[in-house]
Amino acid sequence: MTSSGQEQESSLITHLEALRRVMLRSLGALAIGIVPLFIVSPYVLDWFCKQIILQGGVTLHYFSPMEVFLLQLKISALLDCVLFSPYIAWNVWQFVLPALYDNEKKFIRSMVALTSFLFVAGVTFCLIVCFPLVVRFGMSFAGETLQPIFGVSNLVSLALWLSLAFGCMFQFPLVTYALIRGGIVDYKTVCNKRPYVVVAILVFAALLTPPDIISQLMLGLPTYLLFEMGLLAARVTRNG
C-alpha cells in the first residue's frame, strides 16, 4: 500500500473514531438523563392528565397493568430528547466543524442554537395550542347516543407523537435558509416553487399527524409561515 493510501485509510479511521465518540457521548447523555426524568415523569403525566380533563371534561382510563408504566417511559424519553437536544446538536456540529472555514463555523454555531430553540418552540406550540384543539375537536362528536371513553395511553401517545412532529417540522426555516445560504438552491428558484412547497408541507403534515384536518392544518400553517421566515432571512443575508 502506498503512503497516500495509508494516509487516506488513517484519516478514515480517525473520522470514524471521532464519529463513534460523538455517538457515545450523545447516547451517554441520554442514558444519564433518562433516570431522573423517569422519576419526574409521574408528575408530568399527572399534570398532563389534568390539562386534558380541563379541556374536555372527560375521565381518563387505562386498560392494562403496565400501560401507565410504559407511558411514563415514553414521557421520560421525550423529555430526555428535548432537554438534551442542544448537547447532542453541539456534539454533532463539533464533529463537522474541523472541516469548515471560520465564517462557516460561526454560521454553524448559530444554527445549533436556533435548531434547539425551534425544536422546543415546536413542542411547546403543539402542547399549548394544537393539542387542546385536537381534544376539543374529538369531543365535538359526543352526543346522547355517543359518549367518549378516552384511554390515557392513546391521548398521551398522540400528544408525544404530535410534539415530535412539530419539533421536526419547525426546523423548516433553517433548512430553507441553509440551502439558499450554502448556494445549493437559488433564492429565486425557491420563490418560484412556492406552490410545490405548499403541497410538500401539506403532504408531510398529513403523514406526521392523525387523519383529522385540524391537526394537519395546525402543523401545516405554522410550517409554511416558518418557511417564509427562512426565505426572508435568506433574502436579507443575500442583499447584505
Q: What is the pLDDT of residue 144?
A: 79
Q: What is the pLDDT of residue 182?
A: 67
pTM: 0.69
The phi-psi region of residue 143 (left if phi > 0; otherwise alpha if psi is between -120 and 50; otherwise beta) is beta
What does pLDDT average to in each consecutive run of 10 residues of the chain (240 residues)?
Answer: 54 71 84 89 85 70 87 87 79 67 65 79 83 78 78 82 83 78 75 83 78 76 83 70
**Domain limits of the chain?**
38-73+102-170
Q: Which three cell numbers stand for residue 237?
A: 443575508
List of residues 6+ apart from 51 with CB closer than 8 A: 132
Q: Which three cell numbers stand for residue 199?
A: 403541497
Q: What is the pLDDT of residue 101?
A: 62
Q: Which three cell numbers stand for residue 76?
A: 421520560
What CA–CA distance (Å, rounded) separates 41 from 48? 10
Q: What is the pLDDT of residue 18?
A: 72
Q: What is the pLDDT of residue 11?
A: 62
Q: What is the pLDDT of residue 61?
A: 84
Q: What is the pLDDT of residue 176?
A: 78
Q: What is the pLDDT of residue 186?
A: 77
Task: Indicate if the alpha-carbon torsion angle 221, 222, 225, 230 is positive or negative.
Answer: negative
